[in-house]
Amino acid sequence: MATEGMLLAADAQRMTVAERALRVRERANWMRRRLLRMIVDAGQGHPGGDLSAADIIASLYFDVLRIDPASPTAPDRDRFVMSKGHCTGALYTALAGAGFFPEAELDTYLKPQSRLNGHPNRMYLPGVETNTGPLGHGFPVAVGIAVAGQIDRADFRVFALTGDGELQEGSMWEAAMFAGHRKLGNLTVIVDRNGLQQGATTEDTNALEPLGDKWRAFGWEVDECDGHDHAALLAALDLASQARSKPRVIIARTIKGHGISYMHDKAAWHHGVPNADQYRQALEELDLDVRQ
């Protein structure tokens, strides 16, 4: 029997961009509400980065990726690597929403013996392609997966999501250089460019700009978009899914803590837990966003 997750990419071909964007927006808002509940219940988490990445991850899981939760290791599946592996709230809600495990299991987030660790583990959870968490680790693995697909002449696509602070790791640029050298047209990287890392801005810590030019110098196609504009994200991902002879990076301009006014663009919410009043306010603001 075809699962909902397996049908999403096929459905997208029959829908207008506006219809696709609306569906992604609804799923992303659900993810934000659910991951905030998880963080509050667990008493820990990384809400700022979860919220900046939610629209990107929703676009992938609920529109773009060719995946089947009923067959999570199918050889022809698309691969997604969550290189910014500390933002598990966004990843786990997407996996549950796409049908990889029951939504009720989200209630076990970060609890003893839970499969939903602070960093994703492929040995525990279906849909996780590789263990991530240490920054600078996931993207190089995604490059290796893309190389394997190139050698095998396979038609699966590889997507990776990185944080922008993560791009200060030397391993990221080694991998980017190698991907450009190999002309990995099956590889797309999305940068969650919220401009903040733990405690400070990226530019005050170790400046990344001009970021697009850096990727171009390593032999990549470069696109930039508003990472909270669902139609713009889908248009960029549609372009990235076309046949090409170079790897492609999408620099998604996002806001840390997006959707919650008191977290908006605040480095202090890289990690943290809303109190009861803040949690109620967050849910009210997300409800208002849905109605607008």
pTM listed for this prediction: 0.95
For residues 247 and 189, is the Cβ–Cβ distance under 8 A?
A: yes
Q: Which CATH number do you get for residue 167?
A: 3.40.50.970
| Residue-wise pLDDT tens digits, 234-269 | 999 999 988 899 999 999 999 999 999 999 999 999
C-alpha–C-alpha distance, residues 85 and 60, integer Å: 16
Q: Is residue 5 over pLDDT 90?
A: no
Domains: count for the chain: 1
Q: What is the dihedral of CA 195, 200, 203, 204, to 10 degrees?
A: 170
* Amino acid 40: pLDDT: 98
pLDDT confidence of residue 200? 96
Question: What domain range is 93 assigned to?
Answer: 4-291
Fill in the DSSP letter of residue 167.
Answer: G
